[in-house]
Chain A
Amino acid sequence: MQITSPVRPPLVTGGKTYHDVTADVCRPVESAPSKAWIAALGFALMLLGFGLYCVYRLVWDGIGMWGLNKTIGWSWDITNFVWWIGIGHAGTLISAILLLFRQKWRTSINRAAEAMTIFAVISAAMFPVLHMGRPWVGYWPLPLPNTFGSLWVNFNSPLLWDVFAISTYFTVSLVFWYLGLVPDFATIRDRATSKFRQIFYGMLSMGWDGAAKTWSRYEAVALVLAGVSAPLVLSVHTIVSMDFATSLIPGWHTTIFPPYFVSGAIFSGFAMVLTLMLITRVVFRLEDYITIEHIESMNKIIVLTGSIVGIAYISELFIAWYSGVPYESYCFLNRATGPYWWAYAMMMSCNVITPQLFWLRFVRRNIVITFILSIIVNIGMWFERFVIICTSLHRDYLPSSWAYFKPTMYDVGVYLFSFGVFFTLFFLFTKFFPVINMSELKAVLKSSSGSSNSQSNKRA
């Protein structure tokens, strides 16, 4: 039996038994959809519909529909790409790295966070493909033989590394998530009353029976998957940052980028997990499973990674001055005081200043403040990527090519489209899949629930 500190607060409140866990988590799956859920899905589909029109115009007429110009070739598109990819990182961090560190509080939130990862990666991957301008030749970055007698792709290019990193990340996350879902699908299958539900969840559960031998293998697989996912998630954002860091643009050409991007990714990802979970726990009445302790733990990670990001900003400024490189110094001075000063101010205040409130215990444990701050962090992290990408590009070496970026309706529309994709998938997930990992939660229930619903606890 596992030993837990008696001073540590319980992870599951309300004295839940194993059967209560099953009943509470399966309830949304088994009952008719609520009005709030239908309204939410309708809103997501509306975003999707409007976004789809913008994507159609963009693909038909070309990426000139965006506000890009000759100087600023990367703007909202790549900003959105990096932002979504970053958001995805929290899911893998929760499922893999916190598993290796034996953080039991992850069990209540890992399922939803991993789902968020997968949907965020889908939203992210859309942007580079659309930015190609000709998405139907989107397979060109793959090392395939071609009509020139196999002129291969350039393996020196970080953009190509990104193709491999993101497709591997997506595949491994999807497999890890699905494997975790299999035992829970079996639970739903065995509770099912309708024939359709039995067949549907029966196929999804792949004939899972919960045999001790299978569980023993399953745990070995989960541990190794966590072991390979942990360096994988770090590598993905490292490679994304290399898209910038290996170029010669002042403001991008920085060795600090990999750790700075990874901590920024975890920072924004946890903020997004909080935003989603604070709503989910209320809508699906899961307050006993996603408790204030979980929220506080996530807030602690936010204040840690937010402070790392803050130190990275300050280091960048210091090095720009200390290196004595005029281009680098000018770039950072221009970021803070040039035409995009307002974006820089947004980034600094949302990412560095307001998250520091989480040093206060009552702020970490206040749901309303946490919710507002989590949205502020997400806004701040979007502006961070915009500042890095756009302000580094807009003043080219020759003043005659200086430009300013103004978004068009299609910049906004495609961004809304990515939200539409993300939320449609997320809402479908919350309705048809178990949002909490039941089997993992049951495994830690006894040692962490503080309840005495079992014989062994009474004896002990």
Chain B
Amino acid sequence: MASGKKFLVGVFDDESVLIDAIGKIRNSGVKIFEVYTPFPVHGLDSALGYKPSNLPVAAFLFGLVGTITALTMEIGMMGFDWPMIIGGKPFIPLPDFIPITFELTVLFSALGMVFTFLIISDLNPFKLPLMFDKRSTDDKFVMAIDIESNHSRSNEETITSLLRENGASEVNSKTFE
């Protein structure tokens, strides 16, 4: 995805400086490729203009699938496939089906959402991450700017000075093979 492209990498020491810098850099018309942080920074997604994730909707839908699966299984097996009188109860004792229905709802919704998350975020055991700066999983906040996509508006020097002005402690360039 980023092969052969040249990036400018701004390294920040503090998350509040980073948030201010994102606002100013975006206002000056420079497009930010992505920001990498060691922990979820409060307000970072709104500063970058990211919309809230739709994953909770996926969780709800997966949960619904779980509810329907469980009820279909229980009603089908005990009510139709092999009806039996157990403790004088009706063939379809709905209250008795609630615990398993609840458990399968939770199971489907949790697993479905997590696997959706892994797939859309492209996370799997064999993936090699693009690390702009290895310290971004420790204590540094790293902003990557793709030079090509900002070509029409600004060049390398202006972006470098823009990063410096807004509090970046280091500005490096990085090219992926």
* Complex CA distance for A340 and B85, rounded to whole angstroms: 39
Report the stretch among B23-31, B96-104, B151-159 that lies at the interface: B96-104
Q: Is A18 a contact of B123 with CB atoms below 8 Å?
A: no
Do A439 and B40 have beta carbons less than 8 Å apart? yes
Map CB proximity to B onto A100-141 as digits: 1 under 8 Å, 0 otherwise: 000000000000000000000000000000000000000000
Q: Name the distance in Å between B63's Cβ and chain A's nearest Cβ.
A: 8
Contact flags A434-457 to B (C-beta < 8 A → 1, else 0)? 000011101100000000001110
Give the dominant DSSP class at A's interface.
helix
User: B68 in the interface, Cβ–Cβ < 8 Å?
Assistant: no
Q: Is the CB of B139 within 8 A of A18?
A: yes
B78 near A155: Cβ-Cβ < 8 Å: yes
Query: Complex Cα distance A212/B12, Å?
Result: 14
Report if A216-B139 is in contact (Cβ < 8 Å); known contacts: A171-B107, A187-B38, A211-B35. Answer: no
Contact B77 A1 (CB under 8 A): no
Which residues of the other chain, A, contact B17 by a CB distance below 8 angstroms?
A: 455-456
Q: How far is the CA of A413 from the CA of B129 in the complex (A)?
A: 47
Question: Which B residues touch A439, using CB under 8 A?
Answer: 38-40
| Inter-chain contacts of B125 with A (CB < 8 A) | 203-204, 206-207
Across-interface contacts of B110 in A (CB, < 8 A): 171-172, 175-176, 225, 228-229
With a cutoff of 8 Å between Cβ atoms, the chain A residues found around residue B45 in the complex are 212-213, 215-216
- A156 interface contact, C-beta 8 A: yes
Whether, in the assembled complex, A152 has its beta carbon less than 8 Å from a beta carbon of chain B, the answer is yes
> Are A215's CB and B86's CB within 8 A?
no
User: Given the interface contacts A19-B139, A221-B114, does A143 sit within 8 Å of B107 by beta carbon?
Assistant: no
Is residue B61 within 8 Å, beta carbon to beta carbon, of the partner chain? no
Nearest residue, chain A, Cβ from B139: A18
Q: Which of B123-172 contact A (CB under 8 A)?
A: 123-131, 134-139
Task: Flag whether A220 is at the interface (Cβ < 8 A).
Answer: yes
Interface: B52 (CB within 8 A)? yes
A19-B139, A217-B121, A220-B53 known; A455+B14 contact, CB < 8 A:
yes
Q: How far is the CA of A338 from the CA of B90 in the complex (A)?
A: 41
Contact present for B107 and A456 (CB under 8 Å): no
A contact residues around B73 at 8 Å (CB): 143
Q: Are A454 and B14 in contact (CB under 8 A)?
A: yes
**Partner pick for A207 among B15, B42, B53, B129, CB 8 A cutoff:** B129
CA distance A161 to B16 in the complex (A): 49
Q: Does B106 make an interface contact (CB < 8 A)?
A: yes
Taking a contact as CB atoms under 8 Å apart, the answer to whether A210 and B38 are in contact is: yes
Partner among B35, B77, B106, B114 whose Cβ is within 8 Å of the Cβ of A231: B106
Shortest distance from the beta carbon of A211 to any chain B beta carbon, whole Å: 5
Out of B81, B89, B114, name the residue touching A175 (CB < 8 Å). Answer: B114
Q: Chain B residue with minimal CB distance to A160? A: B100
Q: Contacts A225-B113, A231-B106 given; indicate if A215 touches B13 (C-beta within 8 A).
A: no
A186-B137, A203-B125, A225-B110 are known contacts. Are A152 and B38 too (CB-CB below 8 A)? no
Rounded to whole angstroms, the CA-CA distance of A455 and B135 in the bound complex is 19
The answer for the CA separation of A442 and B15 in the assembled complex, in Å, is: 11
With A164-B104, A176-B110 known, 19 other A-B pairs at CB within 8 A are A1-B42, A150-B77, A156-B86, A164-B99, A183-B39, A187-B137, A189-B137, A207-B129, A209-B130, A211-B35, A213-B34, A213-B45, A215-B45, A216-B52, A221-B55, A232-B103, A454-B13, A454-B16, A456-B14
| Residue from B41, B44, B96, B120 within 8 A of A217 (CB atoms) | B120
Contacts of B56 in A (CB 8 A): 220, 223-224
Query: Does A218 sit at the interface, judged by CB under 8 A?
Result: yes
Q: Is B117 an interface residue (CB 8 A)?
A: yes
Closest to A189 in B: B137
Give CA–CA (A150, B97) in the complex, Å: 19
Closest to B121 in A: A214
Shortest CB-to-CB span from A328 to chain B, Å, is 21
Q: Which of B35-73 contact A (CB under 8 A)?
A: 35-42, 44-45, 48, 50, 52-53, 55-56, 59, 63, 73
Does chain B have a CB within 8 A of A182? yes
Q: Which of A160, A164, A171, A440 has most B Cβ within 10 Å?
A: A164
**In the complex, A283→B3 CA distance in Å?**
46
Residue of B nearest to A242 (CB): B99
Q: In the bound complex, how far is the Cα of B137 from the Cα of A457, in angstroms? A: 22
Contacting pair B37 A210 (CB below 8 A): yes
List residues of chain B with CB within 8 A of the CB of A455.
13-14, 16-17
Please, how many angstroms separate the alpha-carbon atoms of A203 and B137 in the complex? 16
Return the chain A residue nearest B70 by Cβ: A164
List of B residues within 8 angstroms of A168 by Cβ? 103-104, 106-107
Complex interface: chain B residues within 8 A of A155 (CB): 74, 77-78, 96-97, 100
Least CB separation from A441: chain B residue = B39
Report the bound CA distance from A216 to B36 in whole Å: 11
Q: Is A165 located at the chain interface by the 8 A CB criterion?
A: yes
A235 to B102, CA, bound (A): 9
Chain B residues, Cβ within 8 Å of A187: 38, 137-138
Q: With both chains docked as a complex, state the minimum distance between the C-beta of A206 and any C-beta of chain B, in angstroms.
A: 4
Chain B residues within an 8 Å CB radius of A215: 37, 39-41, 44-45
Which residues of A43-85 are within 8 A (CB) of B?
Answer: none
Asked if residues A190 and B131 are in contact (CB atoms below 8 Å), the reply is yes
Asked if A2 lies at the interface with its beta carbon under 8 angstroms from chain B, I say yes
Shortest C-beta distance, B39 to chain A (Å), equals 4
Check A181 for interface membership: any CB of B closer than 8 A.
Answer: no
Instruction: Report chain A residues within 8 Å CB of B97.
Output: 155
Contact status B111-A220, CB under 8 Å:
no
A209-B129, A224-B56 known; A18+B99 contact, CB < 8 A:
no
